[in-house]
Amino acid sequence: MVTSILRPLSMAFQHVFRRTFTVKYPFKVLKPAERYRGRLMLRSIDGCIGCGLCSWVCPTKAILVVQEAERKAPSLDLGRCCMCGLCVEICPSPLALTFTSAYELCEYDKERLIYQPWRLSQPPAEPPREYVRVKDIDEKRLISHGR
Amino acid sequence: MQVSWGPQHPASGHLRFILDVDGDSVLNLEPDVGYTHRGIEKLTENRTYLQNIPVVERINSYCDATNTVLGYIEVVEELLECEVPERARFIRVIMAEMNRIASHLYWLCLMSISVGFETMLMWTMNERELFLDLFEMITGARITYSALRPGGVRYDIPHGFEEVATKYLNHFERRLKDYYKMIFENSTFRLRTIGVGSISSSDAIKLGLVGPCLRASGVATDVRKDEPYEVYQNFDFNIPVEKAGDAYARSLIRFHEMEESVSIIRQALRSIPEGPIRKRVPLVVPKGEAYSRVEAARGELGYYLVANGTDKPYRLKVSTPSFRNMAALPYITRNVTIADIPAIYMSLDLIPLDIDR
Amino acid sequence: MEWKRSFGLLTSILSFFASLALIFLNFIGPLLFSLQFYELIIKVAVFPGLMYISIFAILIIWFERKFLARVHLRIGPLHVGPMMGILQPIADFLKLMGKEIIVPDKAHKIVYNLAPIAVVAVSCSSIAFMPFGWVAPGKNWVIYETPYNLLIILILFTLHPLIIIAAGWGSNNKYSFIGAMRAAFQLLAYEVPMVFCIAGVAMMAGSLDLVRIVESQSKIWFGVVEPLGLIVFFISMMAELIRRPFDIPVAEQEIVFGYPTEYSGVQFMCFMMAEYVNLCVASLLLAGLFLGGWLGPAFLPPIIWFIIKSLIVCLFVIMGRATWPRLRMDQLLRVGWSLLIPLAILQIVIVLLLLLIFPTFPMWLGFRG
């Protein structure tokens, strides 16, 4: 009885001196994995053949194929996108749809959430800050946390 | 006096219990669900079988996405009668067990905060993060993976995954011992959960409980053993069973299940064969009806599919474990105090998303 | 005619203020030139009064958050202030100041608005009777010097359940009312062992004056002689302060936030402030009764020793939040009535037997001069 009361106390005291698990997020970020499914990107507008398969397969109707300078290309409504990746999977062109690792996608304006083809083909802006190196992800987490 | 416990309450989640209380003791509890009803069964009728994967995943997205989709994939494959490559089945098992651990860690976090224990909340969330990292390595997503496909899986295990996973699992097993000392041997947690909300085994069968709640009452049923559905017959694992059927027994069952899942993942990583991961399957499912059940983290999850020979289901009925476990709640919350309500509620591991669909 | 009337009015107002000034100079004027007056002002405003209480509350809130974060393997407050987010409680204070005070439509307005003021007044006034040790020979640093300080502090502690019931009833909210009733049960049940423990100490020291009790521990602390009393007093103190294993009246997962559920902004801050002032007073009380108070090696002044001891007690009180889940009401009452009170009585019996068998025992250990 007494040990079951006092052992949690000693466990808690031990954990005070361990390294923290959290990353100071806005200043340091963990690098996402290579396959990370962030915001969609068109590798190039010219690479898109305008087949419309992405629009057909999208379960939330986030992708619409629109006319862009004499060709058809997808536009994306990020407010509807659920990042399921069916469009990337089905896309027949190796130069068209792909994922980026951008995940900070907030906008002040609802209109800004709709990515027209030209904007969709721009790579996301990298915020200036310190990235924790990829090969460190597991080591960093474990060193901070092991005994 | 009637007290409304939820739907906007620090511990209720998106459902409401209408409590008839006399002072601090609860005379009667009436669950009032439906605050997160999204009509997923109806939504699936308007989408193709492929598009339904992200939709079905949302039945229980933030805890147990892989197991939820696995049941759907199983039922579609049963009608398609397609061959699934062995390697894909192993990857499915690895992902399902990883998700079971992540889900149980999420449950342990909720369980500990429901008795007012913030330390375990933070610790379990830390370890859950490791498993989400592993999922990110495989599928590129952390919560909703949509990685399983009829006829295989979409993503192969990446290079170097086994090494990282072994490291994480070793670490996780060490932490499980810490968890046991911190919460399961903690006198106050034992006081709060032992003998609270007990269900006898006959009652548990009558009320239709599933999964860890049923096993806590002494009934050894597990779909993975009774009716092995992927390559579960290849692995050597136990089904933890407890006799008491109270909140503490239910907690202990889930804790031991995490240990078993770790051993299954290790065996799967060791014996995973080489080969293709996906076979092409037709988009149109032939006419017919099929039922499949899988052991999700919360218990048996059943899908009944009626296909009419098009690329969209005619009807998909989902039988979710949380809904079935909730049936026991009014019976075991008679003559308890208000303080026991969160402990009983969380020990049944009810997720409002799962109840409402 | 108009200017005459206003001139008369003006002269009458001026003469009124002049007479007020005369009265003020006659009666309060001499005080302004006396040392006691400034000493009192310093005591009330700086130490151990307002300034000390607020700095203590701010530091202890910061320490609690930071320490719990370390146990949770988190970082805790980080950005506000020069180091490690030390000004975070001040930022929270300013945020609460800026919030709207919401009075529920069906609340009893008078009781609802008076309860936060009363709770702060009662908890802060108990610091006035807390002696802080010698500053000069024969001169104790205390706002109001009285030999009955221990009794008065205990009486002020017992006033809390009344105010909490008033707050819970006045809110007209089911959760608040359940919380208030739980608080009443808990605080009344744990007053008793607390008083019994104090009785054991007082019998040994032969006085109910905290100054005498502290002085008599010059050779050996009461915590060493009466370990049972120390443990029981600490546990019942945690329950009196509504801290984690015993924070049943404000259990979030059960009854939202108990009696302060409906309060917002400054009124909510009053309840929090009262909680931390109570923590300050209770930890000082425990340090004084069982841990030798301000007595300590001479390289630090006595007041500093007293504060250090009280902070160590606070550390253990905070640890409870990281270590144990919350108890249930019936378990809490069972522990209180059927475990702590018998233990406290056992302590009294041991002390009585010691005093009967060895009448010279207190003199021998230096408890009575």
Share of chain B above pLDDT 70, in %: 100
Lowest-confidence range among A127-131, B207-211, C168-172? A127-131
φ/ψ of residue C136, rounded to 5:
-150, 160
Using alpha carbons only, what angle is made at residue C191 by residues C185 and C197, rounded to the nearest 5 degrees? 150
Taking 80 as the threshold, does the pLDDT of residue C27 lie above it? Answer: no
Which chain C residues are Cβ-neighbours of A18 within 8 angstroms? 73
Note the pLDDT of residue B304.
93
Measure in Å the smallest separation between the Cα of B296 and chain C Cα atoms. Answer: 27
Which chain C residues are Cβ-neighbours of A5 within 8 angstroms? 324
b/e B200-223 (16+ beta carbons within 10 angstroms → b): ebeebeebebbbbbbbbbbbebbb
Q: Which residues pair with B294 in a beta bridge?
A: B301
Note the pLDDT of residue C130.
86
Q: What is the largest CA-CA distance in chain B?
A: 64
Contact C182 B24 (CB under 8 A): yes
- DSSP class of residue B304 equals E
The more confident residue out of C152 and C31 is C152
Cβ-contact C169, C111 below 8 angstroms: yes
Note the pLDDT of residue A131.
62
With tokens 């062992």, the residue in question is C193
Domain parsing of chain C, residue ranges: 105-365
pLDDT tier at B100, thresholds 50, 70, 90: very high
Chain B contact partners (≥3 CB pairs within 8 A): A, C
Close Cβ partners of B24 (under 8 Å, ≥ 6 residues apart): B337, B338, B339, C178, C181, C182, C329
With tokens 């404000």, the residue in question is C250
Task: Name which of C67, C74, C324 is nearest A20 (Cβ-Cβ).
Answer: C74
**CB proximity B245 to C under 8 Å:** no
Task: Name which of A12, A19, A145 is nearest C71 (Cβ-Cβ).
Answer: A12
Which chain B residues are Cβ-neighbours of C328 within 8 angstroms? 191-192, 337, 339-340
pLDDT tens digit string along C114-133? 889 889 888 888 888 888 88
Contact C71 B119 (CB under 8 A): yes
Tell me which residues of chain B, numbers 83 to 122, contact chain C at a CB-CB cutoff of 8 Å: 112-119, 121-122
Domain parsing of chain B, residue ranges: 2-356
CA–CA distance, C206 with C215 (Å, rounded to integer): 12
b/e A90-113 (16+ beta carbons within 10 angstroms → b): ebebeebbebebbeeeeeeeeeeb
pLDDT tier at B107, thresholds 50, 70, 90: very high
Measure in Å the smallest separation between the Cα of B22 and chain A Cα atoms. Answer: 32
pLDDT tier at A146, thresholds 50, 70, 90: very low
The CATH class that applies to domain B2-356 reads mainly alpha
Q: What is the mean pLDDT of residues B120-127?
A: 88
**CATH number for the domain that contains residue A87:** 3.30.70.3270
pLDDT tens digit string along B322-342? 888 888 888 888 888 888 888
Range of A40's domain? 20-140
Q: What is the mean pLDDT of residues C88-94?
A: 88
Measure in Å the smallest separation between the Cα of A119 and chain B Cα atoms. Answer: 23
pLDDT tens digit string along B206-243? 888 898 989 998 888 888 888 888 888 888 888 899 88
Tell me which residues of chain C, numbers 313 to 332, contact chain B at a CB-CB cutoff of 8 Å: 321-331
- DSSP class of residue B348 equals T
CA–CA distance, B27 with B19 (Å, rounded to integer): 7
Q: Domain count for chain A, please give it.
A: 1
Q: Which residues pair with A68 in a beta bridge?
A: A71
Length of chain C measured in residues: 369
**Beta carbon pairs, A and B, within 8 Å:** 86
Q: What is the mean pLDDT of chain B?
A: 88
Q: Which residues of C touch A (CB under 8 A)?
A: 67, 69-75, 78, 319, 322-324
φ/ψ of residue C264, rounded to 5:
-140, 165
Q: What is the mean pLDDT of chain C?
A: 85
- State the DSSP string of B212-261: HHHHHTT----HHHHS--SSGGGS-------SS-SHHHHHHHHHHHHHHH
pLDDT tens digit string along A11-47? 888 888 877 777 777 777 777 778 888 888 888 888 8
- State the DSSP string of A6-65: HHHHHHHHHHHTSPP----TTTEEEPPPTT---SEEES-TTT-----HHHHH-TT--EEE
Measure in Å the smallest separation between the Cα of A34 and chain B Cα atoms. Answer: 7
Is residue A6 a part of any domain in this protein?
no
CA–CA distance, C182 with C177 (Å, rounded to integer): 9
Lowest-confidence range among A127-131, B172-176, C141-145, C152-156? A127-131
Q: What is the mean pLDDT of residues C228-235?
A: 91
pLDDT tier at B103, thresholds 50, 70, 90: very high
| Sign (positive or negative) of CA dihedral A85, A90, A94, A96 | negative
Classify the phi-psi angles of B140: left when phi > 0, otherwise alpha if psi is within -120 to 50, otherwise beta: left
Note the pLDDT of residue A143.
42
Q: How would you class A31 by CB atoms within 10 Å of its CB: exposed for 0-12, middle for 13-18, buried for 19 or more?
A: middle
Contact A59 B174 (CB under 8 A): no
Measure in Å the smallest separation between the Cα of C78 and chain A Cα atoms. Answer: 9
Which chain B residues are Cβ-neighbours of A21 within 8 angstroms? 126, 129
Total H helices, total E strands in chain C:
18, 2
The more confident residue out of B298 and C21 is B298
Is residue A4 a part of any domain in this protein?
no
The span from the first CA to the last CA of chain C, in angstroms, equals 81
Task: Name which of A35, A89, A141 is nearest B130 (Cβ-Cβ).
Answer: A141
Taking 90 as the threshold, does the pLDDT of residue B146 lie above it? Answer: no
Cβ-based neighbour number of residue C320 at 10 Å: 20
Taking 90 as the threshold, does the pLDDT of residue C79 lie above it? Answer: no
Cβ-contact C227, C350 below 8 angstroms: no
Taking 80 as the threshold, does the pLDDT of residue B278 lie above it? Answer: yes
Q: Is B307 helix (H, G, I), strand (E, B) or coil?
A: strand
Q: What is the mean pLDDT of residues B134-151?
A: 88
